[in-house]
C-alpha cells in the first residue's frame, strides 16, 4: 500500500497577472537556459544564524561525481544505495523534442547545497483538453511546464524527492527550491505525499489518480484492476 499523494499545481503569483514580467536573466524561454548558464535567482533563507543568500541554476547539465558525493549522508539517511546515481546519469537518453530532463541546483555562495531532477514538457495539451483543436493550439505555443515527481526514487525513471548536501537543513533547502520554481516557472507541477503539504503553501492540490494507493489483494487478473479504475 502506497502513501497517499497529491498533485500540486503551482502557478506563479500574482495569479491575476498571467503575463507577469519574468526577470530578463531568465531569457526568452521561461526557465530553460542552456547547460552551464549562470545563476538565475537569489532568495534570503532565514536560519538561526541569520539570513543567508541562496542562488539557483536550472540547466540540462547532469550532476557530476563530485556533486553527487555531497549528498552521501542524505542517501544513507534515506536508506538508498549510492549506485542510484548510475540510473539518474542515464536521464539524457530519455529526452525527446518536447520532453527534456533538467537539474535544479541550489547554492550557498559557490557551495552546492541542494539538487533535484525535473522534467520540462512542451506538449501537454491532451491532458487539459479533449478538443483536438484546443490541445493543438496549446502545444503549438510551446509553453514549458516543469514537473517534479517527489514520491520516491527512480519511479518513472526521474522520480526524486530532491537531494540535500551533508550538514544542511533538508526541509529549508527543499522548501527554498520549491519556492524558486513556484515563483519563476509559468507552470509547475509537483507530485508529492500528503504529509509534505507544508512545503506547498498557496498551491492548488489535486488528488493523485487512485489517491496513490491501490489495493490488489482482491485482484486476480488485469481486467480486475481496469474494472476498479473504471468505477472511479
Residues spanned by the domain of 190: 5-231
Provide the 10 A C-beta neighbour count for residue 196.
19
pLDDT of residue 214: 67
CA dist 92 and 10 (Å) reads 25
Higher pLDDT, 205 or 180: 180
**Does pLDDT of 73 surpass 90?**
yes
Tell me the residue ranges of DSSP E strands in the chain.
Answer: 5-10, 41-47, 50-59, 99-108, 111-121, 145-149, 163-164, 187-193, 204-207
Phi, psi of 73 (to 5 degrees): -65, -35
For residue 222, pLDDT over 70 is answered with yes
| 24: phi then psi, degrees, rounded to nearest 5 | -60, -30
Domain count, the chain: 1
Quote the percentage of the chain above a pLDDT of 90: 34
Has this prediction a pTM greater than 0.75? no
pLDDT in tens, 39-55: 333 344 443 444 568 99
What is the enclosing helix (H) or strand (E) of 137? helix 132-141
Q: Which of 98-107, 127-136, 204-213 has the highest mean pLDDT?
A: 98-107
Amino acid at each position: 500500500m502506497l502513501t497517499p499523494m497529491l498533485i500540486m499545481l503551482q502557478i506563479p503569483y500574482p495569479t491575476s497577472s498571467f503575463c507577469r514580467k519574468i526577470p530578463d536573466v531568465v531569457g526568452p524561454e521561461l526557465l530553460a537556459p542552456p547547460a552551464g548558464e549562470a545563476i538565475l535567482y537569489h532568495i534570503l533563507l532565514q536560519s538561526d544564524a541569520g539570513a543567508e543568500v541562496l542562488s539557483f541554476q536550472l540547466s540540462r547539465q547532469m550532476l557530476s561525481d563530485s556533486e553527487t558525493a555531497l549528498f552521501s549522508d542524505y542517501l544513507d539517511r534515506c536508506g538508498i544505495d549510492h549506485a542510484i546515481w548510475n540510473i539518474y546519469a542515464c536521464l539524457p537518453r530519455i529526452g525527446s523534442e518536447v520532453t527534456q530532463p533538467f537539474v535544479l541546483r541550489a547554492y550557498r555562495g559557490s557551495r552546492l547545497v541542494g539538487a533535484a531532477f525535473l522534467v520540462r514538457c512542451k506538449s501537454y495539451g491532451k491532458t487539459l483538453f479533449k478538443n483536438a483543436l484546443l490541445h493543438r493550439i496549446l502545444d503549438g505555443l510551446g509553453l514549458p511546464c516543469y514537473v517534479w515527481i517527489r514520491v520516491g526514487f527512480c519511479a518513472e525513471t526521474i522520480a526524486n524527492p530532491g537531494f540535500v548536501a551533508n550538514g544542511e537543513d533538508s526541509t529549508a533547502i527543499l522548501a527554498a527550491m520549491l519556492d524558486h520554481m513556484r515563483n519563476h516557472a509559468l507552470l509547475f507541477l509537483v507530485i508529492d505525499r500528503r504529509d509534505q503539504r507544508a512545503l506547498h503553501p498557496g498551491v492548488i492540490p489535486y488528488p493523485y489518480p487512485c489517491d496513490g494507493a491501490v489495493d490488489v489483494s482482491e485482484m486476480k487478473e488485469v481486467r480486475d484492476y481496469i474494472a476498479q479504475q473504471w468505477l472511479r
